[in-house]
Amino acid sequence: MSESLYIHGTAPEEQQRLSLLNHLLNDAALPRVGLVGGERILDVGSGLGQFTRSMARLAGPSGRVIGVERSVEQLTEARRLAVADQEEKLVDFRQGNAIALPLRHEEWGSFDIVHTRFLLEHVTDPLAVVRMMVEAVRPAGKVILQDDDHEVLRIYPEPEGFYDLWKAYARSYSIAGNDPYVGRRLVSLLYESGANPVANHWVFFGSCAGHPHFSSYAANLRGVLQTAKQAIVHNDLLSESHFDSAIDSLQRWELNSNAALWYAVCWAEGVKPE
């Protein structure tokens, strides 16, 4: 069985970081889905539901979108955000596990698109999740995977102690039984699950000093690390003083007029055989 272990928690501060992350990334990711209207979409690990609702808007009134999220806290916030935007009827949000999808019998094998983002890095058996996704999509339907490979991150000028902290952060995933480098495996996961891989891309997620949203990207990076502090320190991957010093160094880096952050999200698409 593949149980998700999200090391960042679901505190309000983490939900705020995730909401900001969605705002930064969705505009770059959404066009790649290729929606034309009328699609039946399943979003697995829908989180706060912002990308789910973005897809639903493009699918339009003739489409149908279901978002599945395991965390009750995330699901509650997703529904609250939808109500606040007067979009409570746009998505059918359901509580459930990625390897035990809460679908009715007639819904299996009916979706045009089954999508997940930032879920596979947090499960012990990502292949089991992708197999469920392939089972849910219709023949000739599309499975889309978006996830991280934490090794691709580069920032410059290098803050003192930062890469020691970043390596400890990645190691905290491995200790939890998860894969911080799952992004490079997405095509293979599609193939092993019975889908035919047809495309892979990068979705750029970087910025530099002088860009109007640079401070938001930098804040997201700090937030990722700060919410993982307990996992890092508790597992003796880095001392608390080293952790705090590296975060301080990262905050000073943000003030550099030549600061640059380079990162990209891995994207892979597969088609279910007819």
Distance between CA 270 and CA 142 in Å, rounded? 6
Report the interhelical angle of 12-33 vs 50-59 (nearest 10°). Answer: 30
Residues 93, 202: Cα–Cα separation, whole Å: 28
Identify the pLDDT of residue 1.
38
Tens-place pLDDT, residues 66-119: 999 999 999 999 999 999 999 999 999 999 999 999 999 999 999 999 999 999
The C-alpha atoms of residue 141 and residue 273 are separated, in whole angstroms, by 8
Break the chain into its structural domains and give their ranges: 12-271
Which CATH number describes the domain made up of 12-271?
3.40.50.150
Q: Which residue has the tokens 């490079």?
A: 184
Whether residue 232 contacts residue 168, with contact meaning beta carbons closer than 8 Å, is answered with yes
pLDDT of residue 218: 93
Q: What mean pLDDT do residues 202-206 have?
A: 95
Write the pLDDT tens digit of every residue in 121-143: 999 999 999 999 999 999 999 99
User: What percent of the chain shows pLDDT beyond 90?
Assistant: 87
pLDDT for residue 54 is more than 70: yes
pTM of the predicted protein model: 0.92
Interatomic CA distance for residues 2 and 122, integer angstroms? 10
pLDDT in tens, 218-266: 998 998 999 999 999 999 999 999 999 999 999 999 999 999 999 999 9
CA distance 141 to 159: 45
Tell me the pLDDT tens digit for each residue of 162-191.
Answer: 999 999 999 999 999 999 999 999 999 999
What pLDDT was estimated at residue 57? Answer: 97
State which amino acid sits at residue 13: E
Task: Provide the strand spans (E) within 35-159.
Answer: 40-44, 64-69, 92-95, 111-117, 137-147, 154-156
